[in-house]
Amino acid sequence: MANHEILFSPCQWEVLHEHVGAYFTTNNITVDSFWEGHVLESNHYKMLAADQFAGYFAINKSSTITLFHVFTPYANQAQELFARVKKYESVTNAMVPLKQISSEKGCQVLSGCWYYNHNSKKSMESAGAYSKTRLIRFYF
pLDDT in tens, 22-37: 988 888 888 888 888 8
Query: Which residues on adjacent β-strands are paired with residue 56?
Result: 46, 69
Q: Is the pLDDT of residue 119 over 90?
A: no
- Could you state, in order of their start, the residue ranges of all structural domains in the chain? 6-126
pLDDT of 23-82, one tens digit each?
888 888 888 888 888 888 888 899 999 889 999 999 887 678 889 999 999 999 999 999
Q: Could you tell me what percent of the chain has a pLDDT over 90?
A: 24
pLDDT of residue 79: 92
In this prediction the pTM is 0.64
CA nearest to 57, candidates 23, 100, 25: 23
Helices (H), the chain: 13-26, 33-41, 78-104, 118-126
Query: Residue 130 to residues 34, 64, 106, 123: CA-CA distances in angstroms?
Result: 37, 27, 19, 11
Of 3.90.79.10, 3.40.630.80, 3.40.50.150, 3.40.47.10, the CATH number of 6-126 is 3.40.630.80
Instruction: Tell me which amino acid residue 62 is.
Output: S
